[in-house]
Amino acid sequence: MEGGRSALEPASSAFFIGAAEVAAMARRLGLTAAELLPTLVPTAQSLARPPISHFPVGAAGLGSTGAIFLGANLEFPGAPLNQSVHAEQFLVSNAAGHGETTITHVAVSAVPCGHCRQFLQELRRASDILVLITSDGPDAAYRPLSRLLPQPFGPRDLLLEDSPLLMEPRDNALVIVRPGEEDSLLSSKALAAAKEAYAPYSGCPSGFAVVDGEGRVYAGSYAESAAYNPSLGPVQAALVAYVARQGVGGEGYESIVGAALVEMEEAAVSQEWTARMLMAVVAPRCRLVVYRCRRSS
């Protein structure tokens, strides 16, 4: 973390509203920050990219810092459906990329699926996260996540009580195996993402970075789930960062021309072949380089 912000944080994002702006908006509209969230869900929905289901989902979350983060679902034609990104996953990855450490409130356009309820369990005090479903209409109200998932399985079942959870600061203390390979911008950003990755169950942190034709780099960190399947891969996390910077009317993924994956040597959980498959589908021009890393101590 640098100055309280993640090293991965983009300079600006259509999916991010800073705490000062949130407070000003709330005063102007006579609302609390939590009451602002459902008013932003339609904007998040408009940013979704669901070319398979044609079912846009939007989410807005309030962080403990007072900032608001948006999320939207992403689907990738030609790839297996399990490569899709859910709006709640987008929101969490987006918030983590801005250095946020927890989410207190979430407003979402549709009832969160079991996949997303499980993914949110990786956050500190997950059961207390307040969720509002805007499709409930005028009667929509916040309810704790514990009501949506009353018998949760998560970090408390597998990790020590004081273990850092998803979105919380960590340094996986990684170095790229072959000296000098970390000197490129792409590999250094992917390494930074791997250092921040949340992989407490497999012990296989990884990071991914992509670069577009203008030289802009977008990076993302692997985020595991205790239930394994809802885990968010580093490729998807990097594409979240890419889409978040694009905003309304953003370019397609075909503008991505290069990518780097950093993962552990002989990793029990490898992202390489998933990365090659997904990038071949969404950005055929992209040249992907894989770098191996190890613990520095």
Domain match, 62 and 144 both: yes
The three-state secondary structure class of 128 is: helix
The three-state secondary structure class of 256 is: strand
The residue from 88, 100, 182, 196 that is catalytic is 88
| Cβ atoms of 91 and 59 closer than 8 Å | yes
Answer whether residue 140 is part of any domain.
Answer: yes
Domain match, 131 and 182 both: no
Domain match, 144 and 269 both: no
Domain boundary pick from 98, 118, 153: 153
Distance between start and end Cα atoms, the chain:
20
pLDDT tens digits, 243-295: 998 765 667 899 999 999 999 999 999 999 999 999 999 999 999 999 999 99
The residue assigned the tokens 């973390």 is 1
Answer whether residue 46 is part of any domain.
Answer: yes
Domain match, 143 and 220 both: no
Measuring CA to CA, how many Å separate 7 from each of 2, 4, 67, 169, 245?
6, 9, 18, 11, 16
Answer whether residue 9 is part of any domain.
Answer: no
Answer whether residue 33 is part of any domain.
Answer: yes
- pLDDT at position 4: 39
- pLDDT at position 246: 78
In the residue annotation, 88 being an active-site residue is answered as yes
Answer whether residue 167 is part of any domain.
Answer: no
**Which regions of the chain are under pLDDT 70?**
1-13, 247-250
Q: How many domains does the chain have?
A: 2
Domain match, 50 and 149 both: yes
Helix (H) or strand (E) holding 236: helix 234-246
Domain match, 36 and 143 both: yes
Domain match, 106 and 185 both: no
Answer whether residue 264 is part of any domain.
Answer: yes
Answer whether residue 3 is part of any domain.
Answer: no
Domain with residue 195: its CATH number is: 3.40.140.10
Domain boundary pick from 153, 188, 223: 153
Contacts of 281 (CB under 8 A, 6+ apart): 76, 77, 78, 79
- pLDDT at position 8: 42
Domain match, 27 and 148 both: yes
Domain boundary pick from 97, 124, 153: 153
Answer whether residue 145 is part of any domain.
Answer: yes
pLDDT tens digits, 217-239: 999 999 999 999 999 999 999 99
Domain boundaries, position 253: 174-295
Q: Please, what is the average pLDDT of the chain? A: 93
Domain match, 181 and 264 both: yes
